[in-house]
Amino acid sequence: MGRPAPYSPLSFRIKPPSRDSPSPAHRSWLARNAHFGKLGQIVAHENVRKRLQGKSGTAPEALPVVTFDHGLSIHFNGEEIRVLALAPGHTDGDAVIHSTKSGVVHMGDQFFNGRFPFIDLGSGGSVEGYLRNVAVVLQKISSDVKIIPGHGPLASKADLRIFHDTVSESIEIIRKAKDAGQSLDQVKAAGLPEKFKIWGSGFINTSRWIEMVYNSLKKN
């Protein structure tokens, strides 16, 4: 999960269970991690702990106590909560949370409902990996699941499919332009077709999205 949400001050009024859900290594979450770390155990991808340890000013209580690299299950409140470790996508330390009995999947910033997503290339993120992660989740979830995105309203599997297909199509447009020898400035000047306009109305506008995709494809 990237930048602070508007309700982030509420995190200091929440008392979590003994284990908190996985949290990324973004600085905007450090204060909340430290708060929750005093009240319970933080569970996160092992890369999150490594990155937090490398950040100056990280409080010891902000560090994950339980880490994983492939995933795990937490049995809490009468149900199995599955934690699916993802390949580098939004960052290199993300996970998806599936509450199996409740039929709820928390995608975090691996899903921006109706908007272009943020790919943190500086934290090991990858545009192509991001898209593959969304495809993996689509294969694993049922059609009646409720999905909590990192940004945007509560979603369905159909919403996630639209997100996947739209992001995929935009990536291919940028890829073809790059492979044809166009510079980043040229691709940004050309933009994307009109139907993508609404997708660039979030905090990741079309220009930023094109730049992220272009630079990620160039790295890979």
55 with 84, same domain: the answer is no
Q: What is the model's pTM?
A: 0.82
Same domain, 90 and 197: yes
State whether 27 and 113 are in the same domain: no
Of the pLDDT bands very low, low, confident and very high (cuts 50, 70, 90), residue 120 is very high
Return d(Cα 201, Cα 180) in angstroms, integer.
28
Which residues make Cβ contacts (< 8 Å) with residue 163, sequence separation at least 6? 111, 112, 113, 114, 134
Say whether both 90 and 48 belong to one domain.
no
Q: Are residues 10 and 90 in the same domain?
A: no
DSSP 26: -
Mapped onto helix, strand or coil, the DSSP state of residue 21 is: coil
One domain, residues 65 and 118: no
128 and 199 in a single domain? The answer is: yes
pLDDT in tens, 38-75: 767 788 778 787 777 777 777 878 788 888 788 899 89
CATH of the domain at 91: 3.60.15.10
| CA angle, 108 then 111 then 114, to 5° | 135
For the ranges 18-22, 65-69, 75-79, 192-196, the maximum mean pLDDT occurs at 192-196
